[in-house]
Amino acid sequence: MSHVHAAPLGLIAEEHVDALAAGATLLGSGGGGNVVLAEQLVRHAVRRRPVVVRRADALPPDAHVVHVGVVGAPDVLAERLIDPHDMAVAAHAVAEQAGRGLDAVGIIEIGGLNALAGVVAAAELDLPLVDGDLMGRAFPSINKTTIALAGGSAAPLSVVSPAGDTVVVTRSSAPLAERLLLTCAGAFGGAGALALYPTSAAWLAEVGIAGSLSACVALGAAFRSAPAGQVAGLAVRLGGTALFEGRVDEIRPRDGALPGSITVSDRAAGSAARVDHLDEFLAVTVDGITRACTPDVVVGIDPTSGGVLSVGQVRPGQMLSLVSLPALHRWPASAADVVGPRAFGLDLELEEVAR
């Protein structure tokens, strides 16, 4: 768990937006989608109406929570705003299909774009936002959640297009639901509003990742207050570990579901690192020793500017600092095939990782 102290939030107001965006970017682990447009949406939304934040165990046990966000290609989501109204339509469609009211909004993943999308949806619906999420970071598919691991279903779920086309899936297995979502997003021009994982507050309090929204904001605030260019100190401030710094020698892109890799070298020290990645950074191996891997978070930082880099922003020849952050959730050993290296085609065992 992160060592950054996270005071529980009661509201998300305009004063929290910068820290929220920074924390979500860190927890994106190099992926999760660009938060820039979503940050503008959040700022506009909470300027009009701050969002009330409640832990699941502070809601009535039978309160009905629907998790709301966006789905689609990162490049499309980086350039096209998802209408908050579409998120509200998706949430109401799921609640109606579930035969329940809509009492609160949940965040699907606290890493990347969907951390902010949940805030936008709660503001649009004028409902409390649960202080928590289902992943503790960004993951590329909807079955990598604590609810799925506990045997819960993502359905009923709904995807809404920018034109208002609404698809509702009443029942589905997790693998098929993922394919259906991607198909819908493609048919909708690359992206859509998403609502799924309806649940009672009581069960969410048992299986969700409590306090991760507060932790995200605290992490972002710590990052923003850190001196630029001091990566080792930054890692300590964030409760993480500085793994490696060097020049990017080679980038091997992913091949479908097969991870790609980035080779980084420190020629003066005669040392090299390999960074495995898909949409997110997955693992860092330094001189043959795996120093960090999923589900822990790997952050790529430009040591000159101090900015956080996504997988797609890394370029040959640039300097790259690598930092690991502890996951916000202590996943059980039974989750290794879902969120561990093997789930992404990497031949690493969680218990063998040098920490």
> Average pLDDT, stretch 218-229?
91
Q: Are 293 and 100 in contact (CB under 8 A)?
A: no
Closest CA to 201 of 105, 336, 72: 105
Please give the Cα distance from 103 to 149 (Å, whole number).
24
Nearest Cα neighbor of 144 from 347, 348, 344 is 344
Give the chain's domains with CATH numbers.
Answer: 11-214 (3.40.1610.10), 230-344 (2.40.390)
Q: What is the pTM of this model?
A: 0.95
Which SS3 state, helix, strand or coil, does residue 66 take? strand
In this prediction, residues 91-100 reach a mean pLDDT of: 98
**What is the pLDDT confidence band of residue 3, given thresholds at 50, 70 and 90?**
low
Q: Which residues of 234-244 are buried (b: 16+ CB within 10 A; e: fewer)?
A: bbebbebbbbb
Residue type, 105: V
Angle at 142 between CA 118 and CA 209, to 5 degrees: 60
Rounded Cα distance between 200 and 183, Å, is 29
Beta strands in 183-339 (DSSP E): 191-200, 209-210, 241-252, 260-266, 271-277, 281-286, 289-293, 297-301, 308-309, 319-325
Q: What is the pLDDT of residues 244-254, one digit of tens each?
A: 999 999 999 99
Of the pLDDT bands very low, low, confident and very high (cuts 50, 70, 90), residue 349 is low
How confident is the model at residue 351, as a pLDDT? 40
- Rounded to 5 degrees, φ, ψ at 317 are 90, -15
Q: What is the pLDDT of residues 168-199, one digit of tens each?
A: 999 998 889 999 999 999 999 999 999 999 99
340 and 294 Cβ atoms separated by less than 8 Å? yes
Please count the CA atoms within 13 angstroms of the CA of 106 that sit on its side-chain side. Answer: 37
- Residue 217's Cβ-side half-sphere holds a number of Cα atoms within 13 Å equal to 20
Share of the chain above pLDDT 70, in %: 97
**What string of DSSP letters covers 201-246?**
HHHHHHHSEETHHHHHHHHHHHHHHSPTT-HHHHHHHTT-EEEEEE
* pLDDT tens-digit series, residues 258-315: 999 999 999 999 999 999 999 999 999 999 999 999 999 999 999 999 999 999 999 9
Residues in the chain: 355
Measured between its terminal Cα atoms, the distance across the chain in Å is: 14
Using one digit for the tens of pLDDT, what is the confidence trace for 105-139? 999 999 999 999 999 999 999 999 999 999 999 99
- Per the CB < 8 A criterion, the answer to whether 205 and 56 are in contact is yes
- Cα dihedral: 104, 105, 108, 109 (round 10): -100
**Cα–Cα distance, 85 to 162 (Å, whole number):** 10
